[in-house]
Structure 1
Amino acid sequence: MPMLRRLVFLLLLLPLACIDPYNVNAPDGERYLTVEGYITTDPGPHSIKLTRTDTYGSAFEGLIRPVVQATVAVRDSEGLVSFLTETSQGVYETPANFRAKVGMSYTLQIDLSNGQSYSSLPELVKAVPKMDSVSYRSVSVATDSRLLDRSGVQLTAHFKDPGDESNFYYWRTGPATFVVVANPELFTLSPNHPTNPRGAAPKDCCAICYYQEQRRVQNFAIGTDVDFNGLSTRKQVTFIEDDGLRFKDTYRAEVQQMAISDNAYRFLKLIEQQLSITGSVFDQPPANIRGNMINLADPDEVVLGYFIAADIDTKQIYIKRTNLDQKLLQTPSIIPDDCRIFPGADTAIPSDWNPN
């Protein structure tokens, strides 16, 4: 009988334990068109990237989808139109001989396959002051862990600001190249080798390769001459982290200094402020930062991104390990193999490599 009572009790409980599925019908987020890219006075091609973002409360959440089969063109203030070619999904490039000119204004025009048309506000290209030099120094960066110190190289641009006008600056880094140092003499066989597991098997080649690096997360810096109008000044433009490989020998960095409009500066300032949010409960939530792109049929539509047209000055600098503070360098990473196993590395010396 006690066993029977327990069985009946369990049978009575089973219906109570069943949970009917609840279908949540969350509304679709808005799909924002995002425009990334700029043109400069350097020779092309220059690229413009078009995407759409499905958002749920923030412009920085959701899925990012390339916008394909659009007609993209740049029109200058004299009426000349240059069409861009879609070279990969959502990426459109100007002709190779295209370059912006100082004193002219440029407008980006986009016609989507669904019939919607967008245009930027005109961007005037102002002359950029030339950099006198770029310097570097070793720096350490504080972290939450005493055992995980970060260190690297700080790059600083030196230039003289003209005193007869207001100037707005934008700094980025171009593709970098560094020497990949390996140790093929330390190569060992596979632990599954049938006769000599983990046995030494030094290779004849190769210890030195060259690798071109384009960082996925692009740092940038901005500035205005409010505090240094007409003066010689310097600006810290980027930090290159030491990952144990970049500074084992020589690292070539490229600094780009651009003159931008006051509106472009204000847009980038808002982006900079958003990126500096620490994530505490007292921080303001991320906002949709509107750029200078407008839907011609619906001016109230939010379009993300900003089309920039700028004069540019570029300088390269070679950073040699022997000139860095050895106490601040990370422990070098060892590659016990041919340097060509490093993805993208090549033994061919770049034709423009000149560290001396």
Structure 2
Amino acid sequence: MNKLVKLYFLFLFLLGGCIDPFQVEVPEGEQLLTVDALIHSGPGPHRVTLTRSTTYGSSFQALIRPVTGATVLVRDEEGKVVFLAESTESRGSYFTPSDFSAEIGKSYTLFIETTEGRLYSSFPERVEGVPAIRNLEARTLVINQPGGSPARSGVQLIAEINDPADQNNFYFWRTGPAVYVLQTRPDLFTPRPTESNPSRDPQPKDCCAICYRTEISNNQSLFIAVDDDFNGLTTRVPVAFVEDDGLRFVDTYRVDVSQYGISQEAYRFLRLVKQQAEISGSIFDPPPATIRGNMISLDDPDEVVLGYFMAASEQTSRIYIRKDELTFRQNQSIVPDDCREVPGAVLEPPLDWRP
């Protein structure tokens, strides 16, 4: 290395040693009220969830705070008011009375007052009718993974509906709590080694290998539709996907699907949320946008309020899926313990278990 190069690197070293660190102060992002609310024509209680979310820059950070102690009520177009009570187990969640249900053809408005005295309101939402689900079918869906990774798979649920011809219909589907037969291996139980019991040998348990497990089944994507292409026709629409985790489809799986008739404005909101959620996430994608819903601040019209208050009609259908109906299944996951040790699992099936 010649002298010029040595002097150059020495200069860079000395220069770097003389630079003081630059302290960057990042201000806390604005806390935005987020409303997740759906009332419908089915039995209650119906839930309204209130949170505040902190944002930094254009990236949404997972700093979520429940909004507790608020006064939450729903008023219909005739002035009838229903107050919601906050759950003692789920902070920030408010529930209607169990005997409340929305009426088709009526409009409803959500009102919120926080403990700070800030007032919020939704725009009125009209409850539109929705046809019944004529049939619910399960199809095996295999999703190949890049790079030779094992394929994912599960069950896609297809609903058959007779769409009314006299109106433009907007649909939204949700899955309810699911129940399935859980099989475990208590004969393989091996306790965690301790100083007093250092053995790593299996210590089989006498019970139990078969339970019935209840879980909250949430779609990993939004399932929505508008009848522009099937107005007045009988059609079949994908309404849910349940992934095979190696336990759910070992025997029998049961799930309820709720079909909602929503307003055109609610459909547009859900479509934007779906499009944003399905962005691939590459560096060429635009940053996530703030999607305004139908909630506003009555104190400050410029305040951004996230989320949506939906009022909808509901039709529900139930399906039992047996293991032999799947054309592809994941390898069974081994749970080396009493099945009652798995959260949500009990020995007796639900009273309405009729596969």
- Give your verdict on TM over 0.5: yes
Deviation (angstroms), 1:32: 1.0
Pick the aligned partner of 2:212 from 210, 213, 219.
Answer: 210
Could you tell me which residue of structure 2 aligns to residue 121 of structure 1?
123
Could you tell me which residue of structure 2 aligns to residue 142 of structure 1?
144
Look up the SS of the partner of 1:175 in the other structure: strand
Could you tell me which residue of structure 2 aligns to residue 5 of structure 1?
none
Deviation (angstroms), 1:177: 0.8
Deviation (angstroms), 1:195: 8.6
Could you tell me which residue of structure 2 aligns to residue 45 of structure 1?
45
Question: Alpha-carbon deviations, 1:91-113, whole Å to 9, x = none?
Answer: 11111111101111100001112
Look up the SS of the partner of 2:346 in the other structure: coil
Look up the SS of the partner of 2:52 in the other structure: strand
Query: For residues 192 and 300 of structure 1, what CA distance do their matches in structure 2 show?
Result: 60
Deviation (angstroms), 1:114: 1.5
Question: Alpha-carbon deviations, 1:98-138, whole Å to 9, x = none?
Answer: 11011111000011121211110000001111000110011
Q: Does 1:280 align with 2:290?
A: no
Query: For residues 201 and 300 of structure 2, what CA distance do their matches in structure 1 show?
Result: 70
Gaps of 5+ in 2: 1-12
Q: Does 1:320 align with 2:337?
A: no
Deviation (angstroms), 1:218: 5.1
Deviates more, 1:258-267 or 1:48-57: 48-57
Could you tell me which residue of structure 1 aligns to residue 107 of structure 2?
105
Deviation (angstroms), 1:15: 12
Distance 1:235 1:16, change over 3 A: closer
Verify the 8 A CA contact 2:186 2:207 in the aligned structure 1: yes
Deviation (angstroms), 1:27: 2.8
What RMSD over aligned residues (CA atoms) do the two structures have, in Å? 2.2
Pick the aligned partner of 2:181 from 162, 179, 182.
Answer: 179
Map 1:21-32; keep pairs closer than 5 Å. Answer: 22-32=22-32
Could you tell me which residue of structure 2 aligns to residue 63 of structure 1?
63
Deviation (angstroms), 1:74: 0.2
Verify the 8 A CA contact 2:221 2:274 in the aligned structure 1: no
Matched AA of 2:279 = I
Matched AA of 1:137 = R
Aligned residues: 341
Verify the 8 A CA contact 1:143 1:149 in the aligned structure 2: yes
Verify the 8 A CA contact 1:172 1:219 in the aligned structure 2: no
| Normalised TM-score (structure 1) | 0.90
Map 1:187-266; keep pairs closer than 5 Å. Answer: 187-188=189-190, 197-215=199-217, 219-266=221-268
Query: For residues 196 and 52 of structure 1, what CA distance do their matches in structure 2 show?
Result: 48
Could you tell me which residue of structure 2 aligns to residue 330 of structure 1?
330
Query: For residues 277 and 284 of structure 2, what CA distance do their matches in structure 1 show?
Result: 15
Deviation (angstroms), 1:252: 0.5
Distance 1:222 1:195, change over 3 A: closer
Look up the SS of the partner of 1:145 in the other structure: helix
Query: For residues 70 and 259 of structure 1, what CA distance do their matches in structure 2 show?
Result: 29
Deviation (angstroms), 1:57: 2.3
Look up the SS of the partner of 2:60 in the other structure: coil
Question: Alpha-carbon deviations, 1:165-184, whole Å to 9, x = none?
Answer: 10000011111111110122
